[in-house]
Amino acid sequence: MTGTRDIECEPLSREEFAPFGDVIECKSSPDKLINAGRCGRHHDLARLDFGPNGRAGISIFDSESCSLPFIVDLLERHPDGSQAFIPMTLTRFLVVVSETQYARPRAFLTELGQGINFMRGTWHAVLSPLSEPGLFLVVDRIGNTSNLEEYHLPNPWRVVPNAVTTNC
């Protein structure tokens, strides 16, 4: 393994994350009111894709937390379906994505209450909550294929602290 290369975090926004997937968060106002007007529904926030012969599955991931700087030496993707991560506690997490396993990745930092959905085939780093507990509800493909490809980076990237991460 040769030298580590640095990348900085950027805030997670719908526009910047769109090539990789969806940001799951409340809109400025709900799409409609339900439950006798007591509940705002923020409707259809992610493009879920379970591919042919797949079905939706709900799992809970219990991840160890990480800190900055954070070494990215493994990328993975799910060629058969999308994968959504919704924190079950108010925690921020890193989201590292890349157009290909060889391209320069981008690192996003979520705000409290944000989740994400990776589109099918998006290269990304492992789940990286910045505090305990790292509990996430995960909605992804259940099927007969492994739906996982991994790539170990010969030259890792390091997500370094910057102005975006000062409150982490």
What pLDDT does 3 receive?
A: 77
Judge if the upstream peptide bond of residue 161 is cis by omega within 30 degrees of 0: no
- Digit-coded pLDDT (tens) for 110-164: 999 999 999 999 999 999 999 999 999 999 999 998 899 999 999 999 999 888 8
Token pair 């975090």 is at which residue?
9
What pLDDT does 165 receive?
A: 79
- pLDDT of residue 1 exceeding 60: no
Exposure string over 81-115, b if 16+ CB within 10 A, otherwise e? bbbbbbbeeebbbbbbbbeebeeebbbbbbeeebb
User: The pTM is what?
Assistant: 0.93
> How does residue 167 score in pLDDT terms, banded at 50, 70 and 90?
low
Q: What is the mean pLDDT of residues 26-41?
A: 94
CB 144 within 8 A of CB 51: no
Distance CA 83, CA 139 (A): 6
Closest among 75, 80, 115 to 99, alpha carbons compared: 75
Distances in whole angstroms, Cα of residue 73 to Cα of each of 60, 80, 115, 127, 146? 24, 23, 23, 13, 21
What pLDDT does 21 receive?
A: 98
Percent over 70 (pLDDT), the chain = 98
- Digit-coded pLDDT (tens) for 83-114: 999 999 999 999 999 999 999 999 999 999 99
What pLDDT does 2 receive?
A: 62
CB 114 within 8 A of CB 145: no
Cα distance from N-terminal residue to C-terminal residue, the chain: 29
53 secondary structure, DSSP code = T
- pLDDT of residue 168 exceeding 90: no
